[in-house]
Structure formats: C-alpha cells, structure tokens
Structure 1
Amino acid sequence: MPSLPWQKRLRALIIWGGLAVGSSAFCLVMLQALFGRQLEQLQTIQLGRELALNVRLTELALERYPPHLVAELTGLDLEVAVRPKPASLPPSAAFKRQADALQQQLCQRLSHCPMVLPDRAARGERRVWIELISPLEPIWLRVDVPSMMRWPPEPTLLGLSLVGAGVICGGLFLLIEVEAPLRGLEKALSRVGEGEDPDAVPARGAPEVQRLTQRFNAMVQRLAQNRRERATMLAGIAHDLRAPITRLQFRLSMPQLSADERERCAGDLQSLERITGQFLLFAGGGDSETSVEVPLDQLLAEVASSHPADQLQLQLASIGLSVKPVALGRAVANLIDNAFSYGASPVILKLHAIEDRCCIDVWDQGEGMPVQQWTEALQPFHRLDSSRGQQGHCGLGLAIVAHVARLHGGQLECLYPEPGGTTPGTFAIRLSLPLPMRQSEIGSSQI
C-alpha cells in the first residue's frame, strides 16, 4: 500500500531533522578539535583573572576569620590540609597543561606564586587546588575548571556549529532533492531531443522538482500520442490509396485504352505508388528496425542497381558500419531520385570517410537549391517547387532522409563546389554517419 503524502513528508522531516542534529554535532566536535586550544587559552586567562581576585580577597579574610566561617560566608570550597588528597583519577596531559597555564596567570597577578594541583573526580569533573597563604594553618581552595567538551558548549562554538550544519544540510538537500532528480530529467530530455520515447521519469525530490517532472512526463506522453496518431493517419492514407491504385492497374490491363492513354495512366500510377511509398516510409520511419553490421559499399551498389550505369556513377570506398539497412537504403534511394528529378545526369554516388564520419554524397549536374531554402526543404510536406507535386512528389523525401540521419546519429547537409576546387558535380547532398574510433583511423589512413 503506497504511503500517504503526509506520511512521506513526516518521514522526510524526521530524516532531515536527524541529519541536521548529526551535522550540528559533527561540526561542534570538529570546531572544538580545531579551535579548542585557542579557546582554552582565552578561558584560562579569564579564569586566572577571576581567581586572582578571589584568592587575594580570601587571604585577607583568613587573616581575621577562621576558614570555616570564611567558607560559609563566601561559599568557597576551602579545605584545611597540608596537601589535598590525591585525585581518584589521574589528570590528563591536557588538564595538566591547563593547570600549569592557570598557575602562570596567578603568578603574574599575585605578589606570590601559589601552588596549583589538578584534581579529577570519579565522575569526570575537572578541578584544581590552589594553595592560600594563611597565618595559622595551610588552606587550599578548590575551583572547578570547565572543559571545552562540556554541555552546553560555548555559545560561539554552538553558533558556528549550527551555521555549519545549515550549510551541510542545504548542500545535501540541493544534491539529493534537486540536483540528482534534475540530472535524471536532463538525460530523459536529451533522449526526447534525439527522437526517442523515454520511460516516465520517477517524480522524486523537492515538491517543485516533482511538479516539473510530472509536467515533463505529461509532455512526453502527449508527444508519443501525437506521433502514434500521425503514423496511424499516414498509414491510413497510404492504405486507402492502395485500393484505387489496384483498380487503375486492373483497368490499364484492358485492351480498350490507346497506347498514349495507357502511358499517361501508367505515369499517374507510378506517381501514386511513389507518394504512397513516401507516406508509408514517413509513417514508419525505421524506428523499430534493428541495426546490423553491413558493408555499405555493397548496400549502396544494390540501391543504385536499378539505374543505368551511364546515368548513375559509383565511387564507393570499402566501409563496414552498423546501420538500419532498410531505412538507410530508402533514404539514399530518395536522394538519388531527387537528383534525377530536379538535377541533371550523370549522378555520382560517392562513399568515403572523412576523419570520424562516413559520408554518402549524391552529386548531380543541376543548379541545386539556394542555401537559404535548405531549412525549408527539410520540413515535411514542404515543396520548394509547386510543380513537383505533379511528378509524384509530396514533400517528404528530404524529411525522411533527415529523420533516418537522426536515427543513426548523423546529419544531412548540402554541398556546393568551391571556387578552384575539383568536384564530381555542381550540387550534392551529403548524408554523414558517425564512425567508430577504429574504423575512423583506418579510413583516415586510406585517404
């Protein structure tokens, strides 16, 4: 049974509260370890100043009154003895050092240098015995010496520890509740930018980050639904076109039509077949196809086999690469068809490697297209020339090629001959795919 929101908040509050207390204690211990010696010196100086005044006043009072009366009137812990009883626990080295420092302070402020003996009780209390000057009998004054590790701690250390705990908890909160969920959201967003459909990102972290994650998941679902609806629509259109195409083919087989009419109808059928194929390819897009290792030169030679050798020339380097062969073959076939439809023959299909890229260039001898119209040409259903629709073009050719390039992590660009350079044509479209490191090194050495 999932936890209720208030239960989650209570659990988070308990966890962060415990973390804050633990961080505060950790900072307090670290500050005492780092600055305990300096604070101990300041404490010893302050305690020596106060004890010097008490010792002087007590010695003056002992000149006129007995020790028990002075102790009763002043509340001081006085003991009449030649030497106090030894401590039940041996004092630590740090306590001895502090007692010696306290003795030095008293020697500087009094006319004589009293003896100071450290004393440590069984419960851990730290005390010192201070020898007093008395006219009749030896008297010792016992004084508590506070420890730097006592509770409550010094206000300065306590305040600094609270500040340190706030910084630690704030940093951990940003790291755990904000930065980590945002990093997962960033990865999912990058996958969406690459055209993938990531799984729903778990809504965790701060409430603001959870709301952002929920809206992101809703956006991804809407995008996936839109793509499914688009694929269904295009597939439906293509399927509906198949029936009249079949009927036209059947009628063309009848002997009543003249040769000219039969030729015109056959051209229209080819245009319809081409449009239908483009719709089907754009609807599927090759997203579900599995990548396999294939020799690209053989794949491209098979794609170009339907064209005469004098009109389509091949310049193919021997390169093997893991690709989606059906989608890539249809994309290259689109580029070749566009070159024949809008350019001039001969068309040159060139396969070569440049650094870490495998480049498929389709050159023709036509005028090409203006550079400023390249972005528009990549848009689906966009035709730069309105008359192209009469040739069986629906404005999906380059959009399909660009989609296939993105599926392979590549890119699509247009090329123009450089002044003074040697190129096999006047205009080309390049489909470049990333090469693995080993193959890019081999290709570079071949070049």
Structure 2
Amino acid sequence: MTETAKRSLRAGLRWTSLRLRLVVVFALVALVAAVSASGIAYWLNREAVLTRTQDTALDDFRRQMQETAAALPTRPTKDDLQRAAGGMASSSLGYSVLLEAERERGKPIVGYSDLDTFTRAHVPESLQEQVARKQPLSSSNEHEYHLFWQRTSIAGTPYLVAGTRIIGGGPTGYMLKSLDQERQDLNSLAWSLGIATALALVGSALLAQAAATTVLRPVQRLGDAARKLGEGKLDTRLVVSGTDELADLSRTFNRTASSLEKKVADMSAREEASRRFVADMSHELRTPLTAITAVAEVLEDEADALDPMIAPAVHLVVSETRRLNDLVENLMEVTRFDAGTARLVLDDVDVADQVTACIDARAWLDAVHLDAERGTMARLDPRRLDVILANLIGNALKHGGSPVGVRVRTEGEELVIEVRDHGPGIPEEVLPHVFDRFYKASASRPRSEGSGLGLSIAVENAHIHGGDISAANSPDGGAVFTLRLPRDAERIVRNDEPGEDAPGEDGAT
C-alpha cells in the first residue's frame, strides 16, 4: 500500500470517527433547534391567522344577524328569508348564510344565500343542538341564545361554521366561511419554515465541518507526529501557536519528544560503547589466546609424560583455554549481529548432504539419526546453516538424551528441520528464555562447558536468513527444536551491502 493510500485510509478513518460525530452532533442540535423553532412559529402563526379570520367573520355575522335578521317580521316568508340571507352573504368576508324560521307552528321555512354551497346538511348536528338550546338566565348570563362556532372539513376543505338564534322568536342563522385561503397561506408558511430548517441543517453541517477542521487539524498533526516518533524519527516536533489546551498538549508532546530523543541518544551511545568494548576486547584477546592455545596443545601432547599430579591440571588448562577461545569467537559473532554487519554468502545447498557433513565433522554419526531425502535443494549460507545445526544438535546431545533425531522436510517454499532429543524436556518456565544470551534456568546449576551463546547465535543466523527457530516439548518426551528457513534466501540479501563475513564457531556450545 502506497503512502498516499495510507494517508487516504487514515483520513477516511478519521472522517468516520471524531469528525463524523462532531458533524452529526452539530446537525442534530441544529435540527432539533430548527424544528422546535419552526414548529412553535408555525403553531403561533396558525393560531393567529385562524383566530383573526374567525373573529372577523363571527363579529360580522353577529352584526348582520342583529341588523338584518332581527328586522324580519315574526312570521317571515321564504322570500323574506332568501333576501335577508343574500344580503347578509354579500359581505366582503365571503361567507354563505342559511336562515331558518317558522311560517306556522311546525312548518319551517329556510332561506339560502347559495343553495349549492351551503345547506343544513353542512351544519354539524352538535352545533345545531347548541344553537337551539335555550340558556338559563342568570346574573352572569343575560341572553337565552348564544353564538356558537365550530371548525369542520367538507370534502377536504376546512370551513368555519357558526350559528345563533334571534331572541324573542326570530329566525335562526348559520354561516359557512371557507378557510381554504388560510390553509394555503399556512402551507406556504410551512414550506418556508421547512426550507429554513433544511438551510439551517446544511449551515450547521458546514459550521460543524469548519469547527471539526479547526479542532481536528492540531489533533491530526499530533497523531502524525506521534506516528513518526513511533517509527524512530525522534527529531519530530510540532509547530505550536496559541494558548489553548491543544497548544499545551503540543508543547507537552515536544518536551516529551525532546526528552525521549535525549534518552535514546544516551542509550544508543552507551550501547555502542559497550558493543565496541566487547568487540575490541574480543579482538585483543585473540592474539594472546592463540599463543596460550598453542602452548596448551603442546602441554596436552606431553601430558602423559608429566607427573600424574600435574596431568589433571594440564588437561583442565587445555579445556578451559579451548572454552575461552570459543567464547571469544562467539562474542565477536554476537557483536557483528548487534552491529548489523553480519552478511549472508549464499550458495545452492543439498540440505541432506549439509546435515550429514555437519554430523560427520563432529563425530556424531553414532548418536544422531538423520531422516532427510537427498536432493532437497535450498539457496542458503552453508557456513551459517552449519553453525545453526551444530548448536541445535550439540545442545540436544549435551542437555537431552541420545539418540537425537534430525528430520528434514519442505513445506511449500519453506525448509523445515526438526531436532529432537529423548531427554527430560525443557521446563515450561524455561522455554521462553532458551534463546536468551547467558540464560541460566537456575542460578545454582553446574557450570556448563558451553559459552551460553550457542542457541542465541543459532537463532540470529536463522533470522538473518529470514527464518526462525522455535522450542517445544514433545508429547512423547524430550525437547524439539524446529528450524524454519526460506528455501531461497536471495531476497534477503538482494538489498544488503557486501561486508566482511565473520568466521563462525566450529563446534556446538
């Protein structure tokens, strides 16, 4: 994945997290506020519009009833009612009128201003009952009949229906006022408020985006700087501006990065000095050790002719000299690994022949059982493979039990070599540390003849090939070391610079 793609992915992840939450929260707050404000505004305007229209129509209808309907004779004719209803409906308010009276008892007559628009069927029964009911007179009620009104819907159109009766036996009048224009006005208002709400929502989203960018840009810079710091770029610093909390956080990051850079530099300097000391010490020890080894070999050749009291001391000196020589060589090898100067020298190797040569060179043929098919080829560093095998097999013979089994197989493009002994196995608490340098399972254990670096060097040689070594206990008893290497390590050294190839150990440790 390219760096651009990684940045795009990180930006997408940021968008789906904090930035998205900020935008959503802003949008929800704006939506709730806008909807609430629009709802309240619509409700207030609706009530104001309807109340104004209703009060105006009812006042005019009441006045018309008092002036026109009250002037009719006690027993009006149908024509009288018709003319009165038409006159009342001619008002500029545009409502229809229906007048009811009795020509004779039990013989009602009705006058309409517009028979097609308003008939008695349009008047709700509940309203008719209210209008016809005589109200008891009291100190708070001086009239027997009152004006009643009701909002209703006829064929989907809203109307205001009102009715009252003339006191003293006069006619009963009803009016029908269409509220369709008011509904259209309110619908227009609703659309306007809806558009305003949508615009508020969009505006809040843009403001949220701007706010999120303002807040998240320093956080993103801090995250990028932290990633660079984690990648080892310890000179990474942030440009600090402002006095807010994010600026304080950036200053804290810069101070932390400076402190970390100083500590890492100090540790690197100490580590380099220690590594250089070990390398110099090992190099300086080689010359006197060579001389001591030569003298020790001469003494070993003459040990049989020496005094029996002195011979054991000679053998001890020879053994310890060889062990010290191996330790120095191993320390130099470890120093090369730590310094990163160890290099592979690759060759096409018949793995079965290589394992056989390793065993034969150390006279282990009688103690090791090899299960390997000849012709299994791999492109590896033969010397380093020999070092790995010598350490694994030698460790199995020394700390495990004979016979030691060595099995070679391939798994795809991977070479797998298993070294198994028949000893007591490795304690579970020791398993995680078997490849540690100079590790001792117990501080009171006897001194080992090895340098304590063999398995560590083996695993380093596996790593430089791009492989690894694992240790485990077999269910049938004994320890099993499994070496996994790529069959072609060419890709490992393709970009490596050539360097001095250090001599390896020539025996197990």
Shorter-chain TM range is: 0.5 to 0.7
Counterpart-to-counterpart distance in 1, 2:379 and 2:269: 30
Q: Counterparts in 2 of 1:120-269, with a 5 A limit?
A: 146-150=192-196, 176=220, 188=231, 198=232, 200=234, 202=236, 207=249, 210=253, 224-225=268-269, 227-251=271-295, 258-260=302-304, 266-269=318-321
Contact 1:128 1:145 in 2 (8 A): no
The answer to whether 1:430 aligns with 2:481 is yes
Q: How far is the alpha carbon of 1:242 from its aligned partner? A: 0.6
The answer to whether 1:418 aligns with 2:483 is no
Q: How far is the alpha carbon of 1:24 from its aligned partner? A: 8.7
Q: How far is the alpha carbon of 1:363 from its aligned partner? A: 3.4
1:172-207 Cα shifts (integer Å, max 9, x gaps):
679846776667777x5xxxxxxxxx5548556973
Q: Counterparts in 2 of 1:321-360, with a 5 A limit?
A: 326-343=383-400, 345-353=402-410, 358-360=415-417
The answer to whether 1:400 aligns with 2:457 is yes
Aligned to 1:283: 335
Aligned to 1:381: 438
* One-letter identity of the residue aligned with 2:483: S
Counterpart-to-counterpart distance in 1, 2:157 and 2:44: 9
Contact 1:25 1:161 in 2 (8 A): no
Partner SS state of residue 112, structure 1: strand
Which of the residues 358, 361, 368 maps onto 1:306?
A: 361
CA 1:400–1:109 in structure 2 vs 1: closer, same or farther (change >3 Å)?
Answer: farther
Q: How far is the alpha carbon of 1:418 from its aligned partner? A: 1.0
* One-letter identity of the residue aligned with 1:360: I
Partner SS state of residue 361, structure 1: strand
* One-letter identity of the residue aligned with 2:177: H
Contact 2:438 2:453 in 1 (8 A): yes
Q: How far is the alpha carbon of 1:430 from its aligned partner? A: 0.8
Aligned to 1:55: 53
* One-letter identity of the residue aligned with 1:432: L
Counterpart-to-counterpart distance in 2, 1:397 and 1:415: 19
Which of the residues 100, 109, 112 maps onto 2:177?
A: 112
Q: What is the TM-score when the length of structure 1 is the normalising length?
A: 0.53
Q: How far is the alpha carbon of 1:334 from its aligned partner? A: 1.6
Q: What is the TM-score when the length of structure 2 is the normalising length?
A: 0.48
Which of the residues 372, 375, 383 maps onto 1:316?
A: 372
Moved more, 256-265 or 356-365: 256-265
How much is the aligned-residue C-alpha RMSD, in angstroms?
5.9
Contact 1:327 1:404 in 2 (8 A): yes
Counterpart-to-counterpart distance in 1, 2:421 and 2:220: 57
Contact 1:52 1:109 in 2 (8 A): no
Aligned to 1:90: none
1:319-348 Cα shifts (integer Å, max 9, x gaps):
556766654442322223323444555543
Structure with larger Rg: 2
Contact 2:300 2:318 in 1 (8 A): no
Aligned to 1:273: 325
CA 1:284–1:328 in structure 2 vs 1: closer, same or farther (change >3 Å)?
Answer: farther
Contact 2:157 2:178 in 1 (8 A): no
Counterpart-to-counterpart distance in 1, 2:50 and 2:343: 90
Aligned to 2:83: none
Percent identity between the two aligned chains: 16
Partner SS state of residue 280, structure 1: helix
Q: How far is the alpha carbon of 1:112 from its aligned partner? A: 1.2
* One-letter identity of the residue aligned with 2:52: N
Counterpart-to-counterpart distance in 2, 1:171 and 1:323: 54
1:89-114 Cα shifts (integer Å, max 9, x gaps):
xxxxxxxxxxxxxxx89745995125
Partner SS state of residue 177, structure 2: coil
Counterpart-to-counterpart distance in 1, 2:300 and 2:60: 145
Counterpart-to-counterpart distance in 1, 2:161 and 2:353: 102
CA 1:245–1:48 in structure 2 vs 1: closer, same or farther (change >3 Å)?
Answer: same
Moved more, 262-271 or 145-154: 145-154
Q: How far is the alpha carbon of 1:46 from its aligned partner? A: 4.1
Q: How far is the alpha carbon of 1:58 from its aligned partner? A: 5.9
CA 1:414–1:114 in structure 2 vs 1: closer, same or farther (change >3 Å)?
Answer: closer
Counterpart-to-counterpart distance in 1, 2:29 and 2:347: 62
Counterpart-to-counterpart distance in 1, 2:434 and 2:213: 54
Aligned to 2:7: none
Contact 1:300 1:329 in 2 (8 A): yes
1:332-387 Cα shifts (integer Å, max 9, x gaps):
22223323444555543322357997542233455555444444544322345754
Moved more, 300-309 or 246-255: 246-255
